[in-house]
Each structure stands twice: as structure tokens, then as C-alpha cells.
């Protein structure tokens, strides 16, 4: 399900001081944090993001002065250290500190006295041969006793790849090449479980990494503009992945043809530039046991139409909903009404390509993404195909001119 952890319901866990800090008014919180941390960059900070591109020959990467790094498959995290204070941030800007006590100890032992470092929290299989995202997800647990047990049984590692602040210096406005050089010096003496990610400017090496590192559970390559500044919450980097995927909001489900005790398909949405949740497609391939389990799993999210972003849709038998998908001859006469859900759950899907604003074919389930904020599920994450003259394609075969 690079990203973040499952959300533990407030009613099921202790709300510690860090959580309360994150709920305070931003102006008050920032002022308090500046005084508390005594650094130019203080929590929370949303990490800089990456936009997917087709490959090493994509316009944004080919010929550009970029640095390549492996794409780690874990929880994205910005870690703050000031003296004996440590806070482990997350992609959604909520603290993860209490879930990774072993990393707090490692940060105190390996980070500079005052530093803010961006990186990825990862967990490996017991065999040590590859990363295991599922084991990492299990580390997010409400019980303190369980947290201690998991920290010993499946300890996490932190892979550093950017430096936002060091001492009194705010480095976010410096080019990446400078931040990287400073990071290498800052962590020169660091030991496991703190690691510095590999980096290269050699495209040939990066291509080898792309193919080789997948076998170790990594997720592709990140390309960073060498002169790029650090832009929180902006897609200023590029990612080259082994498959085309998207993170979508689950906004509803259709009942299975066998009855209401099983899910037939999940309805997917993406937010457009105006903040509207658009219908983009469905996932439909699940084992029957999973279909039945999903009905119970999604039950707490079932909502009324008045509170739903697709409130214009009507649950009328035989009518296709959402309305944006109307007119398909393949579904004429079928009951495509759906059960509306609060748009709070995110799923990663695999798809081949877009047709207009929707997936061309039924998407394939990859994994749940409880670490992702639904509002991050936008069209901006999708690769934007380069415009091409259709006539040139039609004429390219030499016939029909």
C-alpha cells in the first residue's frame, strides 16, 4: 500500500503531544515549533514529490542535467533532529515517531546535532534479500507493547536522500547538487540502520539500476534536476517505474451479480484542477472471498448521497452511474447503480493508458495505500503523453494516404 503508514483511528490509540501539535492552528504551531526546535526548518513539512515519466528518454529527463537515485518502496519521511529532540514526519505531515523507537535511537546516534533530512523508512524480509512493504505497514500499531515487539522483530531502516537544513542553515533554496554534497558529508560516519541512497549522473548506470534493483524490492528510479531547489508538496522530481500505476480514490462500489454480500467492482476517482472528483474507471478482478470481505471492510465508509461528491448520481436500477461514464453500448441494460462511499480510501491500480479522462480498460488492483491522503489522488500524478499528429500516425504505414 513511497509513502506513508495506515492511519490508526484516534479512538483506538493514545493521542500524544505530537498529534495535538499537528492539530493546532498553523500560525501558532509554526511559532511554537520554531521556538522549540531552534532550526530554520521545523515540522511539519510536506515532502517534495515526483511525477511519473515514461522512461529515460522522456523529455523531462533526456538531455537534462539530472541525478539518478533508486526509488525505495517504503514510507516517505522527513526526520527532524535538534539535540535530544527527534520527530519522524510523514508524507501526510502526521508524526510517526512513536511507531519507530529504534529509528529515534539511530537518529540520535548518527544524525548531526541539528538537521532535517528527507528519506524513506523501509523494512526488509527476515531473509534480508528484499524489501517488504507489508511488514512495514504492520509497524503502525496503536498498542505501545506491540510497537516495542515489532521494533525488535522487524526493525526499520532509514535511507536518506536529501538535506533540508543543517544547523542554522535552511538549504531548501540551494540546488540539489549542493544539498546532496552536504548530505554526504553530514552522514559520512553514519552506520546502519541509517543509510545514504546511491546516486549517479550516469544514465547507463541508472538504467542498470532500474533493472537490477527491482529484484531487491525497489520500485524504479528517481531523477532529480541537479539545479532544482526543494519544493515541498510539489512534483518537481521525476520517477521512472516498471509499470504504469495511479493512486485513486475509492468512491463507491457495485454489488456483485451474486448478491449484495459481495463487491462486484470498485469505482475509482481522481481530483481535477478544480477540486472535483472525476470518475476514471473501475477495478473488478477479485477472488470471491475478497469480494465478500470487502463488503464488511467498506461498510463503515458507506454514506448517503447528500454527502457524496457524486451526489448528482441516482441509484436507479438499470441506469449507468456515475453520469460521466454514460453512453457505453457495452453496458446497456445492465444495472450499474452503486453504493456510495466516503472518499477516504486510496488504492494503487495498474492501467495501460488513458482514453480522454478515464482509464481505457478496467484497472488492476495493486495494493491499498492507507498512507496516502485522498486529495493527493489527482490527474497531475499521471504521465502526460506528448502531443502527436494523428495524421502522421495514420499515414505512417504508407497506405490510405
* HEC per residue, 77-138: EEEEEECCEEEECCCCCCCCHHHCHHHHHHHHHHCCCEEEEEEEEECECCCCCCECHHHHHC
pLDDT at residue 13 in the model: 40
Domains of the chain plus CATH, in order, are 10-240 (3.30.470.30), 245-381 (2.40.50.140)
For the purposes of burial, counting CB atoms within 10 Å of the CB of 27, is it exposed (0-12), middle (13-18) or buried (19 or more)? Answer: exposed
Backbone angles phi, psi at 260, to 5 degrees: -75, 0
d(CA 134, CA 147): 16
Q: What separation, in Å, do the N-terminal and C-terminal C-alpha atoms of the chain show?
A: 49
pLDDT at residue 313 in the model: 67
Q: pLDDT tens digits, residue range 106-135?
A: 999 999 999 999 999 999 888 887 888 889
- Report angle CA 139, 140, 145 to the nearest 5 degrees: 75
Residue 241: band (very low, low, confident or very high) from pLDDT cuts 50, 70, 90: confident
- DSSP-assigned states of every residue in 18-85: HHHHHHS-HHHHHHHHHHHH-SSS-S--PPPEEEE-SSTTSTTTTTS-EEEEE---SEEEEEEEETTE
For residue 244, pLDDT over 90 is answered with no
pLDDT at residue 293 in the model: 95
d(CA 212, CA 119): 21
**Are 338 and 267 within 8 A, CB to CB?**
yes
**Are 380 and 51 within 8 A, CB to CB?**
yes
pLDDT at residue 34 in the model: 78
pLDDT at residue 12 in the model: 40
Which residues fall within 8 angstroms of residue 300, CB to CB, at 6 or more apart? Answer: none
pLDDT at residue 305 in the model: 87
Q: Which neighbouring-strand residues pair with 277?
A: 271
For residue 400, pLDDT over 50 is answered with no
Maximum mean pLDDT: which of 34-38, 70-74, 171-175, 205-209: 171-175
d(CA 349, CA 280): 11
Q: pLDDT tens digits, residue range 41-78?
A: 999 999 999 998 988 999 899 988 999 999 998 999 99
Residue 24: band (very low, low, confident or very high) from pLDDT cuts 50, 70, 90: low
Phi-psi region of 83 (alpha: psi -120 to 50; beta: other; left: phi over 0): left
The radius of gyration computed from the CA coordinates of the chain, to the nearest angstrom, equals 23
Range name among 68-82, 140-154, 375-389 with the lowest pLDDT average: 375-389
Active site residues: 71
d(CA 261, CA 215): 39
Which residues fall within 8 angstroms of residue 8, CB to CB, at 6 or more apart? Answer: 140, 141, 142
| Cell 462500489 sits on residue | 253
β pairing state of 221-225 and 66-70: antiparallel
pLDDT at residue 132 in the model: 86
User: Percentage of the chain surpassing pLDDT 70?
Assistant: 81
Retrieve residue 41's grid coordinates. Answer: 526548518
- DSSP-assigned states of every residue in 186-249: HTTT--TTEEE---BS-HHHHHHHHHHGGGGT---EEEEETTPPP-TTSEEEEEE-SS-EEEEE
DSSP character at residue 3: B
- Report angle CA 275, 277, 279 to the nearest 5 degrees: 150
pLDDT at residue 395 in the model: 34
pLDDT at residue 331 in the model: 36
Instruction: Tell me the whole-structure pTM to 2 decimals.
Output: 0.65
pLDDT at residue 165 in the model: 98
Q: What is the mean pLDDT of the chain?
A: 84
Range name among 90-94, 227-231, 345-349 with the lowest pLDDT average: 90-94
DSSP character at residue 154: S
Residue 314: band (very low, low, confident or very high) from pLDDT cuts 50, 70, 90: low
Range name among 103-107, 117-121, 326-330 with the lowest pLDDT average: 326-330
| Cell 532509514 sits on residue | 158
**Are 96 and 103 within 8 A, CB to CB?**
no
Instruction: Give the residue, 281 or 212, on which the prediction is more confident.
Output: 281
Q: How many CB atoms lie within 10 A of CB 35?
A: 9
pLDDT at residue 399 in the model: 27
Amino acid at each position: 500500500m513511497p509513502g506513508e503508514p495506515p492511519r490508526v483511528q484516534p479512538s483506538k490509540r493514545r493521542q500524544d503531544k505530537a498529534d495535538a501539535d499537528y492539530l493546532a492552528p498553523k500560525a501558532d504551531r509554526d511559532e511554537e515549533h520554531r521556538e522549540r526546535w531552534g532550526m530554520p526548518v521545523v515540522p511539519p513539512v510536506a515532502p517534495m514529490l515526483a511525477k511519473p515519466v515514461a522512461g529515460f528518454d522522456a523529455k523531462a529527463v533526456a538531455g537534462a542535467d539530472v541525478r539518478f537515485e533508486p526509488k525505495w518502496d517504503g514510507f516517505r519521511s522527513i526526520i527532524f533532529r535538534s539535540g535530544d529532540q527527534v520527530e519522524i514526519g510523514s508524507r501526510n505531515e502526521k508524526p510517526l515517531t512513536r511507531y519507530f523507537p529504534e529509528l529515534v535511537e539511530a537518529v540520535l546516534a548518527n544524525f548531526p546535532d541539528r538537521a532535517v533530512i528527507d528519506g524513506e523508512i523501509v523494512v526488509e524480509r527476515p531473509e534480508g534479500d528484499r524489501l517488504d512493504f507489508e511488514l512495514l505497514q504492520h509497524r503502525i500499531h496503536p498498542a505501545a507493547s506491540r510497537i516495542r515487539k515489532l521494533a525488535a522483530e522487524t526493525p526499520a531502516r532509514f535511507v536518506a536522500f536529501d538535506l533540508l537544513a543543517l544547523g542554522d542553515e535552511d538549504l531548501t533554496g540551494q540546488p540539489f547538487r549542493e544539498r546532496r554534497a552536504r548530505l554526504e558529508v553530514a552522514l559520512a560516519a553514519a552506520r546502519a540502520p541509517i543509510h545514504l541512497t546511491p546516486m549517479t549522473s550516469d544514465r547507463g548506470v541508472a538504467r542498470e539500476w532500474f533493472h537490477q534493483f527491482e529484484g531487491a524490492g525497489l520500485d524504479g528510479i528517481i531523477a532529480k534536476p541537479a539545479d532544482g531547489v526543494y519544493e515541498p508538496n510539489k512534483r518537481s522530481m521525476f520517477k521512472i517505474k516498471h509499470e504504469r500505476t495511479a493512486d485513486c480514490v475509492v468512491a463507491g462500489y457495485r454489488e456483485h451479480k451474486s448478491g449484495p454480500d459481495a463487491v462486484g467492482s470498485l469505482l475509482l476517482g481522481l481530483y481535477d484542477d478544480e477540486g472535483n472528483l472525476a470518475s476514471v474507471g473501475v477495478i473488478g478482478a477479485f477472488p470471491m472471498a475478497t469480494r465478500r470481505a470487502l463488503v464488511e471492510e467498506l461498510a463503515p465508509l458507506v454514506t448517503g448521497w447528500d454527502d457524496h461528491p457524486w451526489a448528482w448520481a441516482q441509484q436507479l436500477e438499470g441506469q449507468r452511474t456515475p453520469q460521466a461514464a454514460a453512453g457505453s453500448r457495452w453496458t446497456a441494460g445492465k444495472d450499474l447503480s452503486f453504493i456510495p462511499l466516503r472518499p477516504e480510501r486510496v488504492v494503487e491500480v495498474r492501467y495501460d493508458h488513458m482514453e480522454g479522462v478515464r482509464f481505457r480498460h478496467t484497472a488492476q488492483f495493486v495494493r491499498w495505500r492507507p498512507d496516502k491522503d485522498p486529495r493527493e489522488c489527482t490527474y497531475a500524478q499521471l504521465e502526460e503523453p506528448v502531443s502527436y499528429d494523428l495524421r502522421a500516425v495514420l499515414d505512417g504505414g504508407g497506405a490510405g494516404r
